[in-house]
Chain A
Amino acid sequence: MKETLASLLSRRLLLVTGKGGTGKTRIAAALGVLAARRGVRTVVVELGDSDVLPELLPPSRGQRAAERGREPQPVALNLFTLRLVPEEALLEYLELQLRVRTLARAIVGNAGFHRFLDAAPGWRELLTLGKLWHLASLEDSAGAPRWPLVVVDAPATGHGLSLLSVPSVVLDTVRMGPLRRNTDRVQALMTDAARTLVLPVTLPEELPVNETLELRARVRELGVGLGPVLANGIEPALGLDQPERALAALERVPRGQAPSPLAEPDVVGAAARHRLARAAMQRGFLAVLARRLDEAPVELPWLAGGVDDPPGVQALADALGGALA
Chain B
Amino acid sequence: MKPDRWLDCRVLVTVGTGGVGKTTIAAVLGLEAARAGKRALVMTIDPARRLADALGTGPLDHEAREVPRERLQALGVPDGGALAALMLDTKRTFDELVERLAPTPEVRERIFANPIYRNLSDALAGSREYSATEKLLQVIGNGRYDLVVLDTPPAAHALDFLDAPRRLSGFLDGQFLKLLLHPAAVVGRASLRLFRSGSEFVLRALERVTGLEFLTAISEFLLAFEELLAGFGERAREVARLLRDPSCGFVLVAGPDLSQAKRAESFWERLQSEGIHLVGLVLNRVHPWPVAGDPPAEDPAAAERAQRWLAAALAAADPGLDAGNAAAALVSAARAQAALARRDAAVRERLERALPLEGDAFRAVPLFADDVHAIEGLARIAREIFGAPRGP
Using a CB–CB cutoff of 8 Å, the interface residues on chain A facing chain B are 19-22, 49-50, 52, 93-94, 97-98, 103-104, 106-107, 110-113, 115-116, 118-122, 124-125, 155-156, 158-159, 162, 165-166, 168-170, 172-180, 203, 205-208, 210, 214, 238-242, 245-246, 248-250, 252-254, 257-264, 266-278, 281, 304, 306, 308
C-alpha spacing A17/B47, complex, angstroms: 18
Closest to B326 in A: A246
Selected A-B contacts with CB under 8 Å, 7 pairs:
A159-B155, A205-B371, A252-B318, A253-B314, A263-B305, A263-B306, A278-B369
Minimum distance in angstroms from A247 CB to a CB of chain B: 9
- Total contacts A-B at CB 8 Å: 286
A254 touching B313 by the CB < 8 A rule?
A: yes
Q: Which residues of A contact B47 (CB under 8 A)?
A: 210, 214
Select which of A21, A124, A240 is within 8 A of B326 by beta carbon. Answer: A240
C-alpha spacing A156/B19, complex, angstroms: 10
Minimum distance in angstroms from A142 CB to a CB of chain B: 31
B18 touching A267 by the CB < 8 A rule?
A: no
Q: Which of B20, B47, B128, B371 has the most CB of A within 10 A?
A: B371
Minimum distance in angstroms from B156 CB to a CB of chain A: 4
Minimum distance in angstroms from A101 CB to a CB of chain B: 12
Select which of A107, A238, A259 is within 8 A of B306 by beta carbon. Answer: A259
Minimum distance in angstroms from B182 CB to a CB of chain A: 14
Q: Which residues of B contact A116 (CB under 8 A)?
A: 174, 176-177, 180
Q: Which residues of A contact B295 (CB under 8 A)?
A: 261
A273 touching B369 by the CB < 8 A rule?
A: yes
- Give the interface segment out of B34-42, B133-141, B273-281, B334-342: B334-342
* Contact A112 to B310, CB < 8 A, known contacts A98-B208, A176-B213, A246-B326: no
- Give the interface segment out of B55-63, B96-104, B114-122: B114-122
Minimum distance in angstroms from A46 CB to a CB of chain B: 11
Q: Which residues of B contact A52 (CB under 8 A)?
A: 259
Minimum distance in angstroms from B371 CB to a CB of chain A: 5
User: Given contacts A112-B202, A259-B302, A308-B257, could you give 8 more A-B pairs where the C-beta distance is less than 8 Å?
Assistant: A93-B209, A121-B127, A173-B116, A178-B211, A207-B373, A240-B326, A260-B299, A274-B333
Minimum distance in angstroms from B25 CB to a CB of chain A: 13
Q: Which of A119, A162, A180, A245 has the most CB of B within 10 A?
A: A119
A122 touching B371 by the CB < 8 A rule?
A: no
Question: For window 216-270 of chain B, which residues contact chain A by CB distance below 8 Å?
Answer: 217-218, 221, 255, 257-259
Minimum distance in angstroms from A95 CB to a CB of chain B: 10
> Is B153 located at the chain interface by the 8 A CB criterion?
yes
Closest to A270 in B: B290
B335 touching A207 by the CB < 8 A rule?
A: no
B122 touching A162 by the CB < 8 A rule?
A: yes
Q: Which residues of B contact A180 (CB under 8 A)?
A: 211, 213
Interface flags, B311-333, vs A, CB<8A=1, else 0: 00110111001110111111111
Q: Which residues of B contact A248 (CB under 8 A)?
A: 318
> Is B124 located at the chain interface by the 8 A CB criterion?
yes
A121 touching B306 by the CB < 8 A rule?
A: no
Interface residues of chain B: helix, strand, loop or mixed (majority)? helix
Minimum distance in angstroms from A220 CB to a CB of chain B: 18
> Is B113 located at the chain interface by the 8 A CB criterion?
no
B170 touching A119 by the CB < 8 A rule?
A: yes
> Is B205 located at the chain interface by the 8 A CB criterion?
yes
> Is B212 located at the chain interface by the 8 A CB criterion?
yes
Minimum distance in angstroms from B164 CB to a CB of chain A: 10
B296 touching A262 by the CB < 8 A rule?
A: yes
A271 touching B330 by the CB < 8 A rule?
A: yes
Q: Which residues of B contact A240 (CB under 8 A)?
A: 325-326, 329-330
A260 touching B156 by the CB < 8 A rule?
A: no
Select which of B211, B290, B314 is within 8 A of A176 by beta carbon. Answer: B211
Q: Which residues of B contact A206 (CB under 8 A)?
A: 48, 50, 371, 373
B154 touching A115 by the CB < 8 A rule?
A: no
C-alpha spacing A18/B327, complex, angstroms: 38
Q: Which residues of A contact B18 (CB under 8 A)?
A: 19-21, 156
C-alpha spacing A98/B205, complex, angstroms: 8
Closest to B325 in A: A241
B48 touching A207 by the CB < 8 A rule?
A: yes
Select which of B116, B303, B329, B330 is within 8 A of A169 by beta carbon. Answer: B116
Q: Which residues of A contact B338 (CB under 8 A)?
A: 261-262
Q: Which residues of A contact B310 (CB under 8 A)?
A: 253, 258, 263, 268
C-alpha spacing A98/B208, complex, angstroms: 8
Select which of B119, B206, B213, B329 is within 8 A of A239 by beta carbon. Answer: B329
A49 touching B156 by the CB < 8 A rule?
A: yes
B369 touching A277 by the CB < 8 A rule?
A: yes
> Is B70 located at the chain interface by the 8 A CB criterion?
no
B199 touching A113 by the CB < 8 A rule?
A: yes
> Is B142 located at the chain interface by the 8 A CB criterion?
no
